[in-house]
Amino acid sequence: MAAVLTEMSYRDAIRRAIVEELDRDKDVFVMGEDIGRYQGTFRVTEGLFKKYNEEQGEWRIIDTPIVEPGFTGIAIGAAMAGLRPIVEMMTMSFSILALDQIINHAAKIHYMTGGQVKVPLVVRGPGGAAKQLSAQHSHSMEGWYAHCPGLVVLAPATARDAYGLLKASIRNDNPVVFTENPGLYTTKGEIPDDPDFTLPFGKANILKEGKDISLIGYSRMTMLNLEVAERLAEDGIDAEVVDVVSLLPLDTETIFNSVRKTHRAVVVYEDWKHGGFGGEIASRIGEECFDDLDAPVVRVGGLNVPMPYSRVLELECMPKVDDVLASIYKLLK
């Protein structure tokens, strides 16, 4: 029997994943800033406080003070004791305050105890620019965390991937950093009506087959690359779109196979171009696919400036369809 599919928004897919895992496992709970009666800054936890705390009399949805190191540390301790906390950061930019907890503790405890202690923790929230949230609220943090062994780092672009990967993250025994670009929350996709549906880590997706050039990205930039591919098709250029999805572990096999087929690659990422994770992808392509390339690997990233408040300037700082097209046409000359 074919799986029954339901169309829903990226935001609703994440909420559904959380609800199903809360109902499946009593060790799962959610904690973060304004996720209770306020129902979350981006409304991901809408209705959860009422359902679990008020109607069922359980403390499964915990509002925290604005103390990221404190509540992240509490979550790590709870995970070490056998619970499965989901920490929602109001914005992943605020997780900078909890870097010591996440990198020096969550990511390393399993290794430093010789495998005796597990940390089944999910740190999730909006990462990247939203709309006029300015310099301190617009960071793309996924590349920072992908630098650190001991973490799983995910940046899904579709509702289906967000749903399946978040459920897998909650069930996993390792700490997971799960980033959700605010620009994706209202996008829609089909997800299976199966509470046991999960997706594996470390698997990239080919969202569009092509033969002339590989467009490689993750999170919101995957959707940008799909738009770019449509524009290229008007000029007879057949682009392949690779959605990286998982930064750590990274599915290099899918990326390399695409590049070996098309012989050209453009890596697009919203993070600052300088030092961003797209540079890691480009470097690996250069190392492993050098003889397959007909042109240098091109990176298209965000401008190396603090994010402005002005909407006009904000849009100038993020990769746009025309930016990617200009890089491609230059590459194809």
Examine residue 197 and state whether it is found in any structural domain, yes or no: no
**CA gap 172, 169 in Å, rounded:** 5
First vs last C-alpha separation in the chain: 49
- Residue 80 sits in the same domain as residue 113: yes
Q: Please check whether residues 217 and 300 belong to one and the same domain.
A: yes
Does 227 share its domain with 120? no
By C-alpha distance, which of 271, 164, 167 is closest to 217? Answer: 271
What's at 141, amino acid-wise? M
Same domain (yes/no): 34, 153? yes
* Same domain, residue pair 48 and 116: yes
> Is-contact 273 287, C-beta < 8 A?
no
Q: Which two tokens stand for residue 199?
A: 């997706």
Read off the amino acid at residue 62.
I
Chain position carrying tokens 């009666």: 37
CATH number of the domain residue 275 falls in: 3.40.50.920
Contacts of 253 (CB under 8 A, 6+ apart): none
Answer yes or no: do 148 and 245 share one domain. Answer: no
pLDDT of residue 298: 97
Smallest CA-to-CA distance from 156 within 192, 205, 122 is with 205
pLDDT of residue 291: 96
The DSSP secondary structure of 155-183, one letter per residue, reads ---SHHHHHHHHHHHHHSSS-EEEEE-GG
Counting runs of H as helices and runs of E as strands, what totals does the chain give? 12, 14
Q: Torsion angle of alpha carbons 92, 94, 99, 102, nearest 10°?
A: -50
Instruction: Identify whether residues 213 and 280 lie together within a single domain.
Output: yes
132 and 181 assigned to the same domain: yes
| Residue 198 domain flag | no
Same domain flag for 33 and 72: yes
Among candidate residues 140, 167, 192, the one where a domain is terminated: 192
308-312-318 Cα angle (round to 5): 65
Residue 149, pLDDT score = 97
* Sequence-ordered list of residues with C-beta below 8 angstroms from that of 278, at least 6 positions apart, any chain: 143, 217, 267, 268, 269, 271, 299, 300, 301
Tell me what pLDDT residue 2 has. Answer: 56
Domain edge (last residue) among 192, 213, 244: 192
Same domain, yes or no: 132 and 33: yes
Domain final residue, candidates 171, 192, 213: 192
Rounded to whole angstroms, how far apart are CA atoms 283 and 295? 14
Q: Is 199 contained in some domain? A: no
Answer yes or no: are the C-beta atoms of 263 and 292 closer than 8 Å. Answer: yes
**Is residue 219 domain-shared with residue 269, that is, in the same domain?**
yes
- Residue 188: strand pairing partners: 9
Asked whether residue 231 is domain-assigned, the answer is yes
| Count of the separate structural domains present in the chain | 2
Domain presence at residue 200 = no
pLDDT by residue, tens only, the chain of 333 residues: 557 889 999 999 999 999 999 999 999 999 999 998 898 889 999 999 999 999 998 899 999 999 999 999 999 999 999 999 999 999 999 999 999 999 999 999 999 999 999 999 999 999 988 888 888 888 999 999 999 999 999 999 999 999 999 999 999 999 999 999 999 999 999 999 999 999 999 999 999 999 999 999 999 999 999 999 999 999 999 999 999 999 999 999 999 999 999 999 999 999 999 999 999 999 999 999 999 999 999 999 999 999 889 999 998 999 999 999 999 998 887
Q: Are residues 161 and 12 in the same domain?
A: yes
Residue 82 inside a domain? The answer is yes
Report d(CA 155, CA 300) in Å as an integer.
18
CB atoms within 10 A of CB 276: 22
Domain, as residue range, for 172: 5-192
Q: What's the 3-state SS for 257-273? A: HHHHHHCCEEEEEEEEC
Q: Catalytic residue positions? A: 68, 137
User: Residue 53 sits in a domain of what CATH number?
Assistant: 3.40.50.970
Rounded to whole angstroms, the Cα distance separating 277 from 288 reads 17
Cβ(24)–Cβ(36) below 8 Å: no
Quick check: helix, strand or coil at residue 24?
A: helix
